[in-house]
Amino acid sequence: MTKFKTPTIVVNFKAYQEVDGEGSLRLAKICEDVAKESGVNIAVCPPMVELGSVARAVSIPVFSQNADPHAPGSATGWITASMIRSTGSVGTLINHSEHRSDNRTIEESVELIKAEDLITIVCAESVRKAREVAAFSPDFIAVEPPELIGGDISVTTANPLIVEDTVSSVKDVNKKISVLCGAGVKTGKDVAKALELGADGVLLASGVVKSKDPKATLQDLIKYI
Ligand code: G3P
């Protein structure tokens, strides 16, 4: 796997209009500035159509928001791991709550992604799902309770147990897998709590993408790292 420092803040741009077109690069540059000033590993997940232009323009790690379980070749409209690697991106999310896959697809995707030497972040909506996907040996598992996604209460406050239990369940299966948590994460205190609960970082979106001042938000998010 490409080297990837933890603790980390992974910012998923989703498909918010703020990151349409030039918006993606603008936000990625802000993340890069804060990463450089602080030394914290901040990664970004722009929409697929902006992946290459962002990955070529910033020095922080860039991830795709998804990868399809297809080898290169006749696969119109599908996103292959090879395609993602060729943009200069370092990895990809898969099985996000807003882009779910079945376990067979997740397993196949993890294999194809690893074969391209990309970092895999598999999202899981529950401790049980996290344990199931740990069997496929991704690099990271990100636990995110769907009901808290996009809200104002952080998973670390609303359901700290899911973070702790995911860490212990995943480590039970494979100690090498790192765990992230997400949903409602907005502040440095939320990140500090995530680390205290045993996570290696956070995966977040609206707190940064919809912020009136993304730089100030990021500076707060990294405050206790
Ligand atoms: O992928 C990150 C995510 O689903 C959490 O979203 O907006 O609650 O930070 P948000």
Mean residue pLDDT of the chain comes to 97
> Mind listing the pLDDT tens digit for each residue in 132-144?
999 999 999 999 9
- Separation of 92 CA from ligand 1 center, angstroms? 15
> Mind listing the pLDDT tens digit for each residue in 16-46?
999 999 999 999 999 999 999 999 999 999 9
Tell me how far CA of residue 38 lies from CA of 31, 49, 203, 225, in angstroms: 11, 29, 18, 9
- Separation of 148 CA from ligand 1 center, angstroms? 8
User: Model-level pTM?
Assistant: 0.98
Residue bearing tokens 């741009």: 13
Report yes or no: 19 and 208 within 8 Å, Cβ to Cβ. no
Kindly state whether residue 117 falls inside one of the protein's structural domains. Answer: yes
- Separation of 123 CA from ligand 1 center, angstroms? 11
65 lines ligand 1 (CB under 6 A): no
Query: What three-state secondary structure class fits 24?
Result: helix
Q: Whose CA is nearest to atom 2 of ligand 1?
A: 204
Kindly state whether residue 34 falls inside one of the protein's structural domains. Answer: yes
Q: Which atom of ligand 1 is nearest to the CA of 142?
A: 1
203 lines ligand 1 (CB under 6 A): yes
Q: 50, 70, 96, 107: which one is catalytic? A: 96
Kindly state whether residue 171 falls inside one of the protein's structural domains. Answer: yes
Kindly state whether residue 76 falls inside one of the protein's structural domains. Answer: yes
Tell me the two tokens of residue 191: 């990140």
- Separation of 33 CA from ligand 1 center, angstroms? 22
Q: What is the CATH number of the domain that holds 23?
A: 3.20.20.70
Q: Which atom of ligand 1 is nearest to the CA of 12?
A: 1
Tell me the two tokens of residue 23: 């918006």
Kindly state whether residue 65 falls inside one of the protein's structural domains. Answer: yes
The answer to whether residue 125 is catalytic is no
Give the structural domain span for 63: 8-221
Kindly state whether residue 1 falls inside one of the protein's structural domains. Answer: no
pLDDT at 3: 79
Nearest to 180 by CA among 157, 156, 158, 207: 156
Helical (H) or strand (E) element with 91 = strand 91-94
pLDDT at 12: 98
Q: Structurally, how many domains does the chain consist of? A: 1
Burial of 54 (0-12, 13-18, 19+ CB in 10 A): buried
Kindly state whether residue 2 falls inside one of the protein's structural domains. Answer: no
pLDDT at 1: 54
Kindly state whether residue 21 falls inside one of the protein's structural domains. Answer: yes
